Amino acid sequence: MNNDRSIVRKLKGSILEIPSILSNNRTVVAVAAFLYLLPLVTTAGTSPVRALLFLITQIMIFGLLAMSFDLQLGRASLLNFGHVALFGVGAYFMAYSLNADFFPPPFNLVASIPFPLTLVVAIFLGGGLGLIMGLTTSRMRGTAFAFIALAIAMFIFNFFAENPDISGGETGLTVPTPGLIRTAPFYLFFVIIAFVFLAGFLGMVILYLKSRTETAGLVLFAPILVAFTGIVLIFGTNIYGPILVFFAFFAMVLLYFMEQTKSTSDPLDPSTSQRLSGYVRPASKLSAYAFPVGIIAVALIGVGVTFGTNIAEMVSLWVEQRTTYYYTIPVQYYLVLTCVVLVYVFIRRLVASPFGRMVAAVAQNEERAEALGYDSYRAKIVVLVISGAIAALAGALYAPFIRIIDPHTALGVEITIDAMLYTIIGGIGTLLGPLLGTGVVVYSELNLVDFITEGLGLPGQWWLVGLGVMYILIVLFLPLGIVGSIRIRLFSLKQRLQRVKIGQYEFGLRDGDYWVFGLLGMIGLFLLLLLVSV
């Protein structure tokens, strides 16, 4: 009985923590909800949105690799030229697990492993290889560490390159699409997760309006209302869903004025106070519980009505047992996005933990950290294990995405160079920087040829020159990377924005207001990329 009560208390405590979690991570919740919403826009056929999902999936996979590389370089100051080996181990293990006839019995037992468990095993394999690297190189420093790790990666690359029977050789090893990805239940599972994130986003917006009862709250909420309603109106399949979404967001405006009225009331006046002798007025209960829940429910129903036809078309592909590759793109997108969100949250908590602070101390001054009692050797090994696990996860996701791998595409040293480039361009040690840097580099590599040949009228070979010029400009004008340099410039800008005057209204921006600009920037970038790709 006591155990049941303790479980109930813990459950209540976890539920009560949800508002604070949403309020403390507004930008992450808003951007994640928008990214989860994108696949609902796609239909069963080809479309620019589906092509954009394919590009974003590729960016997120290599973004995972860059995040794992940044965990070593940006947090532990470990320059690992052999990082590609961790990526390749995950890629080849996934390829083996999806090819039942590649090995003779009993070695083909790996093909009987379920797909989700294959990802877990790949993570452990990457962590194991990271442990081996750590045990052999962690007592070394600087270039010695970098080149010993490179030697390990080159040994693995040459082993696979010289044994085409296990690597596929120059023709590569075909990687079938996992059967689970081609099932409607798996797709619907991620659709449910998308609605959960959307509910969290709506709850976060409501909490924001209830806490930001100044003029700035309504001014910043207005573009969110327009943008979100516009998205469902443009990409929806009917008009009824957007109407419901608009009414839900309009109800948030009413909730804002209700909270503003309460915040300006005299707490000593019994006629206007919220509490009198411990009694909560029904109106207070309405604004605190029933009204917000109703708003979220109406908005979710509106989104469901808006994109219900698209969801039904995707499910019908599975019912008709079609094996078209286009069907798997939204599911792979959802899978990779979920992995990116989980890894992002994990690294963020890891960096803020006592272990993360110990790693930072070792990276800044290893001798001083050891003098204070920290075990720098153990810290480096743990970082390499965690980084190896994340890199192997990226490789395991990459194999079924690209559908064919060979030693060069999975174990080539240039992959390490790319990961380092993504990290430097985005910003070393910034967490979001590697993801953003990956997006900039991958998108540039895919579209720079068309821009140079069609836009500038130059030969296609000049795309490498253009890419080099872009890198030089970023290093010159953004020496700390995109995120690092912008973050420094925004620090001074924030002080100016603490007091803004528009006409007769004067208000200031707080740290909790900048999620609005992050979400609007993401929506604007999506529309711009979609417009360019049409």
How far CA 482 is from CA of 248, 368, 474, in Å, comes to 36, 31, 8
Place of tokens 């020159």: 465
Chain centroid, CA 141 distance in Å: 32
Number of CB atoms found within 10 A of residue 472's CB: 10
Average pLDDT of each block of 10 consecutive residues along the chain (534 residues)? 58 66 83 91 74 91 95 89 93 88 63 85 94 84 83 92 86 85 85 93 88 77 88 86 90 80 54 44 58 89 90 76 63 93 93 91 86 86 94 95 91 92 91 91 83 72 79 86 84 69 64 84 86 70
**508: number of Cβ within 10 Å:** 14
Q: Say how far apart CA 395 and CA 269 lie, in whole Å.
A: 64
- C-alpha 282/C-alpha 452 separation (Å) is 65
Question: Alpha helices, DSSP H only, in 104-212?
Answer: 115-137, 142-161, 164-167, 184-211
Query: Which pLDDT belongs to residue 275?
Result: 44
User: Coil, strand, or helix at residue 375?
Assistant: coil
Does some domain include residue 453?
no
What's the pTM?
0.89
* Inside any domain, residue 505: no
Is position 103 within any domain? yes
> Is residue 526 situated within a structural domain?
no
Question: 487 in a domain, yes or no?
Answer: no
Q: What share of the chain is helix, strand, coil (3-state, %, to 5)?
A: 80, 5, 20
Say if CB 315 and CB 187 are below 8 A apart.
Answer: yes
Q: Give CA–CA dist 90/398, Å, rounded.
A: 9
Nearest Cα residue to 302 out of 228, 252, 227: 228
Q: What is the tens place of the pLDDT at every residue in 352-364?
A: 999 999 999 988 8
Instruction: Show contacts of 142-151: CB within 8 Å, 24+ apart.
Output: 142/79, 145/78, 145/79, 145/80, 146/79, 146/80, 146/81, 147/81, 148/82, 149/80, 149/81, 149/82, 149/83, 150/81, 150/82, 150/413, 150/416, 151/82
Rounded Cα gap, residues 239 and 218, in angstroms: 26
The 10 Å Cβ neighbour count of residue 301 is 16
- β-pair partners for 279: 276
Q: What is the pLDDT of residue 94?
A: 92
Q: Which helix (H) or strand (E) holds 275?
A: strand 275-276
Does 461 map to a domain?
Answer: no
Task: Read off the amino acid at residue 371.
Answer: A
Q: What is the pLDDT of residue 313?
A: 81
- Predicted local distance difference test score (pLDDT) of residue 339: 95
412 inside domain: yes
- What sign does the CA torsion over 153, 154, 155, 157 have? positive
Beta-bridge mates of residue 502: 505
DSSP state of 507: E
Enclosing domain of residue 210: 19-262+282-419
The candidate with the shortest Cα–Cα distance to 322, out of 469, 184, 159, is 184
User: Is 11 among the domain residues?
Assistant: no
User: Residue 54: which of 530, 460, 409 has the closest Cα?
Assistant: 530
Q: Is the four-CA dihedral 478, 480, 482, 484 of positive or negative sign?
A: negative
Q: Given this model, what pLDDT does residue 237 score? A: 80
Dihedral, 139, 143, 146, 147 alpha carbons, nearest 10: -110
DSSP letter assigned to residue 453: I
Output the pLDDT for position 264: 52
Can you give the pLDDT at residue 13?
Answer: 58
Examine residue 106 and say whether the peptide bond preceding it is cis (omega within 30 degrees of 0): yes
What is the domain count for the chain? 1
